[in-house]
Structure 1
Amino acid sequence: MRAKQVSRCVGKWTLPAIVLASSFGVAIASRCSVTSTGRIPLNDLGAGLYLGEVGGLYPGGSNQRPANHDLNLDRVGRVLLRDAQGNPDPQFGTIVLMSVGMSNTTQEFRAFQTLAGDDQERNAAVVLVDAAEGGQAAHTIADPDAAYWNGVDQTLAASGVTPLQVQAVW
């Protein structure tokens, strides 16, 4: 009796299962004749608008990097191995690169951490800390008193570093 029930069940679902499985192999034709969306690339848009936003790679629809973007290039020379109090420590110090942002940031930074972790030439004194958190948009993070920043301090502590060792933020 049990064998008949099993064979009836198998028989009942066999045809739908075959149809479903075979539909995965069906290719939907693409329209290869269409080579453009008709949209203007942001770097060609200039001062024109797209969905109410000015084009260009920089403010005002410009594609030329503003001079003030290079004002703090000397900061690169100030990145030093630092102890927990932020003092230079060339022998035992740490450089922290920390992510700040929302879920997209944490997803990208975690992928970066994985890649960096596999890099045999990576400097072991550089610590990557993912302090980004889902749901924490820019308007929230902009408030220095937001609860988000308490979480950042906890994340840094859990990583064995301090805020005074953070020298770069992504």
Structure 2
Amino acid sequence: MPWPSTRRAESRDRILFSAERLFTKSGFDQVSIDQVMQDAGMTRGAFYAHFRSKQELYSEAILSAAWRMGAQHPTDVETLIRAYLSPEHLGQKKGSCPLAFLVSDIGQRDQPVRDSYTKVFSALATKVSGVPDAEPDAAALRALVLMVGGVAVARALNDPILVERVLAACREGALSETASVPI
């Protein structure tokens, strides 16, 4: 009996979902193809039916993670900023933002990976600007840098009180940058 026509797409999605979680948790160098495939419940051999390399998987996992998260983003800018710069976002075990969770890792990667990261950053900057299909202005870029940087720094800290203070300061700054954005 032949496999259902959706099986290939479902397998690829399982691989991407595992890669998203593992890469955002540990970065590129600490995750192997074997680990991704084991987490996806598949064999290493199946990997090459979907991806040519670990770098290609990494690049696509960044885009896939951003797409999944973007589908869950609140529609108004203030709520988006508050949710992004929250302890709940910081503590997520799945669906962590590749912008903040991989920021220090991306600069060490090849051009296609950096292109994926740039696409995700640009798309979120446009969303933060509050003006669909427009180039984000300086205020939206400042707000997004506060958001990504705030989460990246807070993730590295081990003092919960300081973590909340950093998140709160970045929320305040990002919200003040976008105060004139239509909601």
Normalising by structure 2, we get a TM-score of: 0.27
Q: Which has the higher strand share?
A: 1
Q: Which has the higher helix share?
A: 2
Greater C-alpha Rg: 1
Normalising by structure 1, we get a TM-score of: 0.28
